Amino acid sequence: MTDLLLIGQRAKSASRKLAALSSDEKNAVLLSAADALLIDENVQKILEGNAKDLDNAVKSGMSDGLKDRLRLTKERLQDMAQALRDIAALPDPVGEVLETIERPNGLRLLKTSAPIGVIGIIYEARPNVTSDAWSLCFKTSNAVILKGGSDAIHSNIAITEVIRSAMASGGVDPDGLMLIEATDHETTNRFMQMNDYVDVLIPRGSQRLIQAVVKNASVPVIETGAGNCHIYIEKTGDIDKAVPIVYNAKTQRIGVCNACESLVIDRDALEKLVPVVKKLQEKDVITYADEASFEVLKKASGTEGAGLRMELVNKATEEDFATEYLDYKISVKTVDSTDEAIEHINLNSTHHSEAIITEDAAKAEKFLNGIDSACVYWNASTRFTDGGCFGFGAEIGISTSKLHARGPMGLRELTTYKYKIYGNGQTR
């Protein structure tokens, strides 16, 4: 559907109906939708749509990282279905009493969690977001309007049709899930101005997309997603921890927002960079090294048995330190202290996820306290910034905002609250 006014009206109407659903009613629809995603004819329809999107991606020269985000398989559909089941199994936060206040005049106030209303999601080549976003919004009794990009439009249409059919079969207004099928920029800009119908916008995708939404939307925005994530190897860092942590954070999945894009290393620990880069080169990762780290790697490459390939090492520019590659690439910055590492990271990060590798507890606490990011790790991979890993189930995104929600946004972050006041004839 492309009529934005009609989409907004229908979603707003549906949101009022969703607010009246019980947890059991919502869970039954979630489980039904999970089953529907795995019905053979629906699997075929979704994968056929995804194949069209992937064919277009190849023709347009899309990067490997983004194609990985776009690609659906039977296994990924099973993961999407399991995510719906996981959401159904989680406690419903709607209606939870957060605080009870008894006033001297006898008034009793209950601060109670409530649906936000209509949530708008603007996202790029990630069709799994279609089911994830709906499931989280539906569980919290919110209607959702989805605006995917042209890259995944055929996948998104197919997934949406399956879920809306499951909603209708469960006796629930399917307009609680609306997909804007138009992919032009004008439609996107109009969507961002729909204050009468949309209560909050959540962009998921590249830093370019997120900043475009922040700058152009009149609807309130929760920033998510862009991840120029850093790992800092402090001079006492254990190399046996550093090598697998960096390798995991950089190479497990290159197209995700919690992948490591930049290494920061103490000058006194530069020799530890050699085994780290050697391990990364098993996946042909290109290293963009500053002057000091480049010289160390160049010297080591001439050492017998080092196994370093200098054709995979380039000199870094200042731009590299602020780049979210989403590719088999990583930058390296040399620093002289933990304070300098913190300053460099805070200047160049997207405030998503950063890690320190150190055996010095005091340095670790300084880093954990000084870094201005949603998630900060000590001796662990940044890849754990994920709703599932945090025990939240599927997430709507990783918020890098500071108001309302920060970090993985699960169910609770998709609710607001209201006060219910109980009286017995009191007047003021």
Map out the domains of the chain as residue ranges.
4-224+396-422, 229-384
* pLDDT tens-digit series, residues 400-415: 888 778 888 889 999 9
Reported as a pLDDT band with limits 50, 70 and 90, residue 304 is low
> Which residues, 6 or more positions from 206, have their beta carbon under 8 angstroms from its beta carbon?
124, 225, 226, 324
pLDDT at residue 305 above 70? no
pTM, whole model, 2 decimals? 0.79
**pLDDT value for 426:** 94
Choice between 78 and 256, residue whose per-residue pLDDT is larger: 78
CB 118 within 8 A of CB 140: no
CB 262 within 8 A of CB 229: yes
Give the pLDDT mean for 289-317: 89
pLDDT averaged over every residue in the chain: 93
pLDDT at residue 4 above 90? yes
In CATH terms, is domain 229-384 a member of 3.40.50.620?
no
pLDDT at residue 196 above 90? yes
Give the pLDDT mean for 262-268: 97
pLDDT at residue 167 above 80? yes
**pLDDT value for 50:** 97
Name the residue among 113, 140, 146 with its Cα closest to residue 128: 146
CB 180 within 8 A of CB 2: yes
pLDDT at residue 1 above 80? no
**pLDDT value for 111:** 97
**pLDDT value for 20:** 94
Name the residue among 86, 294, 340, 116 with its Cα closest to residue 220: 116
The CATH code of the domain at 4-224+396-422 is 3.40.605.10
pLDDT at residue 162 above 90? yes
Name the residue among 317, 371, 315 with its Cα closest to residue 344: 371
Percentage of the chain exceeding pLDDT 90: 81
Give the pLDDT mean for 139-163: 96
Sign of CA dihedral 246, 252, 253, 254: positive
pLDDT at residue 47 above 70? yes
- Tokens representing residue 220 in the block: 């309130």
pLDDT at residue 294 above 90? yes
pLDDT at residue 289 above 70? yes
pLDDT at residue 68 above 70? yes
**pLDDT value for 390:** 87
* pLDDT tens-digit series, residues 197-237: 999 999 887 778 888 898 999 999 998 767 899 999 999 99
CB 43 within 8 A of CB 51: no
Report, in angstroms and rounded to the nearest whole number, the Rg of the chain calculated over CA atoms.
24
Q: How far apart are CA 130 and CA 144, in angstroms?
A: 10
Q: How far apart are CA 250 and CA 46, in angstroms?
A: 30
Q: Determine which of 148-152, 322-326, 365-369, 400-404 has the lowest per-residue pLDDT on average.
A: 400-404
**pLDDT value for 285:** 97
**pLDDT value for 205:** 74
**pLDDT value for 106:** 96
Exposure letters 229-264 (e unless 16+ CB within 10 A, then b):
bbbbbbbebeeeebbebbbbbbbeebbbbbbbbbbb
Give the pLDDT mean for 316-336: 95
Reported as a pLDDT band with limits 50, 70 and 90, residue 249 is very high
Give the pLDDT mean for 371-375: 95
**pLDDT value for 225:** 67
